């Protein structure tokens, strides 16, 4: 397939990805002033797209960003954009869609360019990736689990920049990522908040299982992830007790199981923390049940898909 280049969407225009760009004066670059979402498809259908779009609008609202669109508009724009690239995907091939929405050209924009660059209007970027480009080592990771590492850097507190605003001012997370990689180049960062509570990864929520109960941090200081919410719903359906509460590194080191949740991979077993095994060092039974239930709900065997993606990549 993919006989031509994929399009990206930038401010109403469809542009081949290699040329999809944003003015260097845009507030996305000048102040990291961007809210964002990413969504994936299962069997070509975007999963909970409306929820993602509504959260995008909430993020914009909390960032004091005025939008010329309501949710219906953004949903329609997204679906139309996806249609444009639809022919590039084989049957059964899923994709990942990213929305980046900045406040538009910054105050640094030269006066003579403002009209042309849309000053006063937000900049909306949408692009998508075939799952095989995103999947990386998922097949192995689903089977072995990933390695979480807690860095020195603390997540900024909600009174500075609330992680509930899903945003692109993420240098603090990057500092965490680079520190985590000093322990293991493939480590997934697990950030603590300034009180020392376990918070989230740079792009995922986190949960542990302690004696049969799922425990995940409250949303006081983490993104209210849509995958996180899906896990809580699945747990409820499966009769697995689950709580949202403050957890500490002790709880992770002594947990029976652990996993990350994130849109692209749904739920990823985590079997090591700071080089120590979690539980017996293998993905655990509750993690497996959740992953299987999720696959059932969306009609995709997630592990099998990851294996197929690994082959195709």
* Residues in region 132-191 near a copy of itself by CB under 8 A: 133, 149-162, 164-165, 167-175, 178-179, 182-183
Quote the least distance from Cβ 296 to a copy of itself, whole Å: 26
What minimum distance in Å lies between the beta carbon of 158 and a copy of itself? Answer: 5
Of 116 and 296, nearer to a copy of itself (C-beta) is 116
CA nearest neighbour of 241 among 209, 269, 270, 219: 209
At closest approach, how far in Å is the CB of 123 from a copy of itself?
9
* 129 contacts a copy of itself (rule: CB under 8 A): yes
User: Is residue 207 a contact point for a copy of itself (CB under 8 A)?
Assistant: no
How many residues bind a copy of itself (CB under 8 A)? The answer is 85
Q: What are phi and psi of 29, to 5 degrees?
A: -85, -40
Residue ranges of alpha helices (H) inside 118-225 are 131-135, 138-144, 171-180
- Using CB under 8 A as the binding rule, the residues of this chain from 220 to 259 that contact a copy of itself are 220, 245-246, 248-251, 253-254
For residues 128 and 263, the answer to whether their CB atoms sit within 8 Å is no
Within residues 31-60, the interface with a copy of itself by CB under 8 A covers 31-34, 58
Angle at 47 between CA 169 and CA 311, to 5 degrees: 90
Residue with Cβ nearer a copy of itself (195 or 296): 195
Cα(66)–Cα(174) distance, integer angstroms: 28
Q: Between 172 and 303, name the residue whose CB sits nearer to a copy of itself.
A: 172
Q: Say how many C-beta atoms besides its own lie within 10 A of residue 73's C-beta.
A: 12
Nearer to a copy of itself by C-beta: 6 or 40?
6
**Cα–Cα distance, 138 to 264 (Å, whole number):** 10
**192 within 8 A of 198, measured Cβ to Cβ:** yes
Provide the token pair at 167.
């945003």
**217 near 245, Cβ under 8 Å?**
yes
Contacting range for a copy of itself; rule: CB under 8 A; set: 15-23, 41-49, 80-88, 290-298: 15-23
- Strands 257-262 vs 146-149: parallel, antiparallel or unpaired: unpaired
Q: Identify the residue among 146, 192, 290, 298 touching a copy of itself (CB under 8 A).
A: 192
CB of 292 to a copy of itself, least distance (A): 29
Nearer to a copy of itself, 129 or 297 (CB): 129
Site string for a copy of itself, 59-98 (x = CB under 8 A): --xxxx---------------------------------x
Largest alpha-carbon pair distance within the chain?
A: 64
For a copy of itself, the closer of residues 110 and 212 by Cβ is 110
CA 275 to CA 291: how far, in whole Å? 24
Give yes or no for residue 285 binding a copy of itself (CB under 8 A). Answer: no
265: tokens are: 């991979």
In angstroms, give the least distance from the CB of 272 to a copy of itself: 10
């Amino acid at each position: 397939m993919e006989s031509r280049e994929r399009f990206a969407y930038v401010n109403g225009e469809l542009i081949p990805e290699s040329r999809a760009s944003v003015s260097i004066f845009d507030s996305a670059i000048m102040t990291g002033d961007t809210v964002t979402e990413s969504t994936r498809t299962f069997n070509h259908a975007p999963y909970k797209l409306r929820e993602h779009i509504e959260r995008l609008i909430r993020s914009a609202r909390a960032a004091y960003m005025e939008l010329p669109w309501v949710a219906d508009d953004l949903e329609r724009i997204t679906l139309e954009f996806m249609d444009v690239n639809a022919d590039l995907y084989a049957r059964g091939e899923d994709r990942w869609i990213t929305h980046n929405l900045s406040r538009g050209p910054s105050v640094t924009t030269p006066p003579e360019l403002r009209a042309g660059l849309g000053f006063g209007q937000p900049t909306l970027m949408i692009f998508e990736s075939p799952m095989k480009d995103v999947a990386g080592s998922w097949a192995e990771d689903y089977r072995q689990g990933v390695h979480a590492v807690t860095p020195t850097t603390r997540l900024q507190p909600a009174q500075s920049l609330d992680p509930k605003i899903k945003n692109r001012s993420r240098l603090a997370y990057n500092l965490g990522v680079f520190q985590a990689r000093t322990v293991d180049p493939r480590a997934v960062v697990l950030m603590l908040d300034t009180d020392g509570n376990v918070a989230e990864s740079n792009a995922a929520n986190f949960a542990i299982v302690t004696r049969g109960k799922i425990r995940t941090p409250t949303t006081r200081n983490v993104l209210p992830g849509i995958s996180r919410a899906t896990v809580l719903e699945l747990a409820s359906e499966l009769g697995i007790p689950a709580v949202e509460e403050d957890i500490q590194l002790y709880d992770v080191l002594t947990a029976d199981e652990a996993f990350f949740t994130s849109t692209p991979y749904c739920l990823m077993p985590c079997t090591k923390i700071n080089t120590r095994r979690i539980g017996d060092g293998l993905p655990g039974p509750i993690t497996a049940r959740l992953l299987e239930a999720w696959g059932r709900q969306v009609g995709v065997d997630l592990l099998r898909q990851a294996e197929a993606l690994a082959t195709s990549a």
